[in-house]
């Protein structure tokens, strides 16, 4: 099996590229007010700009509380457009929307907005590409292009909130309720910018989106020092750990970061976070046919997690084009669930869809690369009739 693995190096330090233009979402409130003052305007104009940004207003003409003579200049200085839609695919009668975004330097990232009867969740990216090199992951096999800025990350959530508020998603106007960092990239490898984004997500309007901390999920492959830092900083967001194997031998190959921090260290860090927050964490486990779906591995995972504040979220692998990896068959999935529950471990199986139109994270971006170089943005195509697609449901 090892010979079939694609051995890419782990990358924690993102390549240096040109920085995105300065944006209000990259600044503290005090910094934004100072920036507005430098432009010769009253500091409170920064608060007005924040209100427009978090409501998803992008046209300066609609910022009618700003003097007409300075709207364009203020918006250009502090609300530059950072995310350009390349393509949007819809499914589930318009209740699922996956968007491919082009950044200022041509890098590509994805976000997915999913509407359910009781909530609306957006899955956002924290990096363009990923440096964690997991061999079964489309994003990991494309490598790491760069970290996203806080404004680029936050902007994905703001766009989703605006789509919900405007009624662009089937079901009429609504409210974005959940954000999951489960798109492209390892969030905790871009800690400072993700941390600033978390503040923006939970800060009440008009200076943020006003979400509850428990409705924001940060997923990690197990960057233990960053999990500990998250614990020390007193946040209460939901933690999800992508484990994918209960033993170090297999996880060393499936999740290469395991060569740095072993299974026991990752679980101990997650336990400490759960102890501080009083809430269970999620263990993400991609079920891969004949690789990690054997009954003995289900038992090993059950023994590892029994008695802990952990919930297992099993994910039948969403295979990428040309990949040797495939999802576990239904009988193997059922056996895995039965064995975990026999150990007293709460377990669910995620509904994974979209295999026919590049539904897995990173596939749209991979399809828009030519010889490894991101393609230029294309006009957004008509979506009538909707293209069938899907995305991983949140936990």
What pLDDT does 359 receive?
A: 44
Structural domain contains residue 74: no
**Per the annotation, does 242 bind a ligand?**
yes
SS3 313: strand
> Kind and range of the H or E element at 331?
helix 330-342
Structure tokens of 123? 């899955």
Please answer whether residues 36 and 45 qualify as being in contact, where contact means their C-beta atoms are separated by less than 8 angstroms. yes
Strand partners, 311: 282
Specify the pairing of strand 347-349 against strand 310-316.
parallel
Which residue is associated with the tokens 């759960």? 274
Please answer whether residues 347 and 337 qualify as being in contact, where contact means their C-beta atoms are separated by less than 8 angstroms. yes
Total H helices, total E strands in the chain? 12, 14
Task: Please confirm, yes or no, whether 110 is among the known catalytic residues.
Answer: yes
Structural domain contains residue 229: yes
Range of the domain at 187: 2-12+82-374
Structural domain contains residue 304: yes
Sites in the chain below the pLDDT cut of 70? 1-7, 321-322, 351-395
**Per the annotation, does 323 bind a ligand?**
no
253-308: pLDDT as tens digits? 999 999 999 999 999 999 999 999 999 999 999 999 999 999 999 999 999 999 99
Task: Please confirm, yes or no, whether 361 is among the known catalytic residues.
Answer: yes
Count of structural domains, the chain: 1
Report which DSSP code applies to 124. Answer: -
Structural domain contains residue 281: yes
What pLDDT does 352 receive?
A: 55
Q: Comparing C-alpha atoms, which of 176, 164, 162 is closest to residue 83?
A: 162
Strand partners, 281: 310
**Per the annotation, does 123 bind a ligand?**
no
181-214: pLDDT as tens digits? 999 999 999 999 999 999 999 999 889 999 999 9
Contacts of 64 (CB under 8 A, 6+ apart): none
Q: Which residue out of 123, 152, 284, 361 is catalytically annotated?
A: 361
What pLDDT does 323 receive?
A: 74
Structural domain contains residue 250: yes
Structural domain contains residue 44: no
State how far the Cα of 33 lies from the Cα of 171, in Å rounded to an integer. Answer: 38
CATH number for the domain that contains residue 189: 3.20.20.70
**Per the annotation, does 185 bind a ligand?**
yes
Structural domain contains residue 21: no
Q: Comparing C-alpha atoms, which of 308, 290, 395 is closest to residue 348?
A: 395
**Per the annotation, does 233 bind a ligand?**
no
**DSSP string of 122-165, one letter each residue:** EE--SEEE-SS--TT-HHHHH-EEEEPPHHHHHHHHHHHHHHHH
Structural domain contains residue 175: yes
Q: Which residue out of 72, 110, 249, 388 is catalytically annotated?
A: 110
């Amino acid at each position: 099996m090892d010979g079939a693995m694609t051995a890419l190096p782990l990358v924690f330090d993102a390549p240096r590229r040109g920085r995105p233009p300065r944006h209000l979402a990259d600044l503290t409130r005090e910094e934004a007010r100072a920036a507005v003052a430098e432009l010769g305007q009253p500091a409170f104009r920064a608060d007005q700009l924040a209100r427009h940004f978090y409501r998803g207003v992008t046209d300066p003409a609609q910022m009618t509380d700003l003097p007409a003579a300075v709207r364009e200049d203020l918006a250009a200085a502090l609300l530059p457009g950072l995310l350009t839609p390349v393509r949007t695919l819809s499914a589930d009668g318009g209740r699922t929307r996956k968007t491919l975004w082009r950044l200022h330097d041509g890098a590509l990232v994805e976000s997915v907005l999913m509407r359910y009867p009781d909530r609306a969740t957006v899955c956002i990216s924290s990096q363009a590409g990923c440096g964690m090199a997991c061999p079964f992951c489309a994003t990991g096999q494309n490598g790491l292009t760069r970290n996203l800025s806080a404004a680029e990350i936050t902007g994905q959530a703001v766009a989703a909130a605006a789509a919900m508020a405007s009624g662009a998603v089937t079901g009429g106007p609504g409210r974005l309720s959940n954000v999951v960092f489960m798109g492209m990239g390892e969030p905790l490898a871009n800690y400072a910018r993700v941390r600033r984004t978390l503040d923006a997500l939970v800060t009440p309007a008009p200076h943020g989106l006003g979400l509850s901390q428990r409705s924001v999920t940060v997923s990690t492959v197990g960057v233990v020092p960053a999990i500990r830092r998250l614990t020390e900083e007193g946040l209460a967001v939901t933690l999800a750990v992508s484990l994918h194997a209960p033993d170090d031998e297999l996880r060393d190959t499936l999740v290469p970061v395991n060569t740095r921090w072993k299974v026991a260290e990752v679980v101990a860090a997650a336990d400490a976070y759960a102890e501080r927050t009083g809430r269970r964490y999620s263990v993400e486990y991609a079920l891969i046919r004949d690789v990690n779906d054997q009954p003995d591995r289900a038992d090993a995972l059950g023994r590892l997690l029994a008695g802990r504040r952990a919930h297992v979220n099993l994910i039948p692998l969403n295979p990428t084009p040309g990949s040797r990896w495939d999802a576990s068959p239904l009988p193997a999935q059922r056996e895995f669930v039965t064995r975990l529950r026999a150990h007293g471990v709460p377990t669910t199986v995620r509904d994974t869809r979209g295999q026919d139109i590049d539904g897995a994270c990173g596939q749209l971006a991979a399809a828009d690369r030519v010889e490894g170089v991101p393609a230029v943005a294309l006009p957004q195509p008509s979506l009538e009739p909707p293209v069938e697609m899907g995305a991983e449901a949140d936990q």
